Amino acid sequence: MMQFRQNAFVVVAEAALSVVTRPTQVAPSAWASANLVAPDGPRAGSAYDMTLTPYVAEPLDMLGPDSTVNELAVMKGAQSGFTLMLIAALGHMIDRAPCRAMLIQPTDSALSKFNREKLDPAIRASDALKKKVVPQTSRSSQGSTTYSKRYVGGSLTLAIATSAADLRSDTIKILLRDEIDQYPDDLDGQGDPLEISDGRQIAFLASGDWKKADVSTPTIKGGSKIERRYLQGDQRRWHVRCPSCGEELIFEFGPNFHFEPAFPYKAYYVAPCCGAIVENHQKIDLVRAGRWIATAPRPGAFPSYHFDALSSPFVPWDEVAKAAIAAGDDPARLKTFLNLWLGLPFEMRGDAPDHVRLMERREDAPPRGHVPAKGLLLVAAADVQMRGIWVEVLAIAPDRQTWPVDAFYCDGSTEAPGSLSDPPDSGNAFSQMLHKTIGREFPDAWGGTRRIDALAIDSGYRSHVVYATVRSNQRQHANTGEDVIFAVDGREGWGKPPIGTPSLVDIDLAGRKVKKGCKIWPVGTWSLKGAFYADLRKDGLRAGAEVDPDGYCHFGTWLDETYFRQLTAEYLAEETYRGRARKVWKLRASERDNHFLDCRVYNLALAEHLGLSSITPAEWAALAKERGMPASERPDLFRRALANGTPAPAAVDIEDIEREARDENLERMAKANAALFR
């Protein structure tokens, strides 16, 4: 007998029957424990265990139909379990209280990943959901799609915050918004995506049965959307009981969180109530028995939550200590630590030092065009204008110290692509720039020469000419086969990474169209500017410090006032936009150009792409050897670079030290996971 595959009609019919015999309502947290399967993470494929993340139960149940709460906000660190909370809320709605709902992700790639790696696997693994959600493979017009899940009684729309069409469509009852700090402030001149999507629920305001949840990791203090939502609410924190005196307390990063400055850290917490020491192995049981308490209760305040890694059962305290030590005083790493580990916004300073003060600390060595001893990375960036191109060549050390190796302006036409095959004096600015960057050898401190590792060309102006230049001159690294020329595009916003995932664009020049002819790399300029200005404010040996600190910015005496004025041409301003405060970068009224600042930002983005923040000490040592640095000079590179936080003496093999620290760290993580899931 032939067996026919279940079709959309059968799914709809069974779901209709279930409506007639609707089961007894259960709270979303109880439903999740009985029906949800973890789609990813260390327990992927296992039944969802609410006891592992008890802090999720309260906000999850508030999203159920029996709760009188209409809205809530969660400001959290990474890997805390709240994305799974959104999936559980959707699953409960589909199975027990179907209606029209929407989930918004910041970008199309984030939405696709969420659907592919989390939502779809969760639906397929749940017997309760896979019977009710019409399959995406159905040929019926009622079938689900990548951006819509259909079921009897409603549908779930998956939208992106960068599409006004997505946010302005039909009325919805449940609105879930993920990672809202990565949403744009303004969507194509049509307004704030949060306000636009709010309009989708107007029809339910009278009945009062609408639901809205905002969940996000924060970004910049004063400009963070989730911080603003959290402060509008009653600001709940997860409290645990002191194992000694029973007083309720919050695990917070601060004077009560103690750890050693080197591996193995031995992190512990001192209870502020009685001074009792709380060890990491006690944390899990204490967190499981904790509860939410509002720290700012007041009439009209909706529930808002803050949760971080110190209370997370998934993160050992030694790992928090390690991340804090690794962040040091690096502004970019400090921002990451506060945002991802502590779930807190980072306070960004945007005041650059006076350009005259920077000029006063110029140094004689190394001479122009020479790579300094510690400059293991060599990058260049070009800012294209109507007539000419501004260029900075930058050397970068493992501890992020920087030295401009050259800075210049190529005066010439930018209307046509250039090539290394053109004469340097052809009149084409692109050709001049290529000869002075990728076509050039720079003397180093050891008697050899170096070529740049990567060149970034800003494609914000003369875009198609830049694309054509990049495509026709693309060269390969001799050892890695990776691209050496990058077409980059600066992106505003505090949630953007230093350099993101490239997209392929068409090249259309002189009537010839090349489909997907060039990669364009997005660069998150705002955070990079903030980190750079923080480094500019650091004092070094010339100001009386004992050493030049990590990230210190060196400048040669050959650099002129124009360079320094452009480098400090912007400031971080707070403005009111559509009734809300936000922080944006603006050009100083006294300045006209910021080309060298743009070049520096793109150079720092290239350094991150090349691995500045992720290269291990062993890899730095290998790179130093490859580039001719004498063995006697190498240990000084790793003053703070070792993963275990200890300096590397000259007689010790750096690779052996790092391997030992890594093995001990893996063993520690294995023990922590065993304790978590016992």
**Residue range 159-214, pLDDT digits in tens:** 999 888 888 777 899 999 999 999 988 887 788 899 999 988 988 888 888 999 99
Q: Among residues of the chain, what percentage have pLDDT more than 70?
A: 87
d(CA 397, CA 339) in angstroms, rounded, equals 26
Q: What is the 3-state secondary structure (H, E, C) of 275-344?
A: CCEEEHHHHHHHHHCCEEEECCCCCCCCCEEEECCCCCCCCCHHHHHHHHHHHCCCHHHHHHHHHHHCCC
User: How many of the other CB atoms lie within 10 Å of CB of 70?
Assistant: 17
What is the reported pTM?
0.78
Q: Among residues of the chain, what percentage have pLDDT more than 90?
A: 61
Q: Which pLDDT belongs to residue 511?
A: 61
Q: Which pLDDT belongs to residue 475?
A: 63
Q: Which pLDDT belongs to residue 490?
A: 95
Q: Cα 246 to chain center, whole Å?
A: 38
pLDDT tens digits, 493-528: 887 889 998 999 888 776 677 777 789 999 999 989
Q: Cα 561 to chain center, whole Å?
A: 35
With 0-12 / 13-18 / 19 or more C-beta atoms within 10 angstroms meaning exposed / middle / buried, residue 391 is buried
Q: Does residue 425 carry a pLDDT above 50?
A: yes
Local confidence band at 139 (pLDDT 50, 70, 90 cut-offs): low
Local confidence band at 25 (pLDDT 50, 70, 90 cut-offs): confident
Q: Does residue 253 carry a pLDDT above 90?
A: yes
Q: Does residue 649 carry a pLDDT above 50?
A: no
The mean per-residue pLDDT over the stretch 274-294 comes to 96
Q: Which pLDDT belongs to residue 7?
A: 52
Give yes or no for a cis peptide into 372 (omega within 30° of 0): no
The mean per-residue pLDDT over the stretch 548-575 comes to 94
Tokens of 596: 């060298």
Q: Does residue 318 carry a pLDDT above 50?
A: yes
Q: Which residues pair with 65 in a beta bridge?
A: none
Q: Which pLDDT belongs to residue 1?
A: 36
State the pairing for strand pair 512-524/485-491: parallel
Annotate 322-357 with b (16+ C-beta within 10 A) or e (fewer): bbbbbbbebbbbbbbbbbbbbbbbbebebebbebee
Q: Does residue 11 carry a pLDDT above 60?
A: no
Q: Does residue 487 carry a pLDDT above 70?
A: yes
Mean pLDDT of the chain: 86
Q: Which pLDDT belongs to residue 512?
A: 72
CB 504 within 8 A of CB 519: yes
d(CA 629, CA 616) in angstroms, rounded, equals 17
Q: Does residue 117 carry a pLDDT above 50?
A: yes
Q: Which pLDDT belongs to residue 610?
A: 93
d(CA 29, CA 198) in angstroms, rounded, equals 26
Tokens of 343: 């779930």
CB 410 within 8 A of CB 429: yes
Residue at token pair 């692509």 = 417
CB 102 within 8 A of CB 31: no
d(CA 253, CA 269) in angstroms, rounded, equals 9
State the pairing for strand pair 174-178/211-216: parallel
Local confidence band at 142 (pLDDT 50, 70, 90 cut-offs): low
Q: Does residue 648 carry a pLDDT above 90?
A: no
All structural domains of the chain = 28-56+70-217 (3.40.50.300), 355-610 (3.30.420), 626-678 (no CATH)
The mean per-residue pLDDT over the stretch 647-657 comes to 39
Tokens of 479: 């050892």
Q: 82 phi and psi, to 5 degrees?
A: -80, -20
Q: Which pLDDT belongs to residue 64?
A: 95
Q: Which letter does DSSP use for residue 118 in this model?
A: I
Q: Among 32-36, 132-136, 575-579, 593-597, where is mean pLDDT lowest?
A: 575-579
Tokens of 368: 């122009």
d(CA 12, CA 5) in angstroms, rounded, equals 14
Q: Does residue 676 carry a pLDDT above 60?
A: no
Residue at token pair 């002191």 = 242
> Residues, the chain, total?
678
Q: Which pLDDT belongs to residue 203?
A: 84
Q: Which pLDDT belongs to residue 353?
A: 82
End-to-end CA distance of the chain: 48
Q: Which pLDDT belongs to residue 479?
A: 45
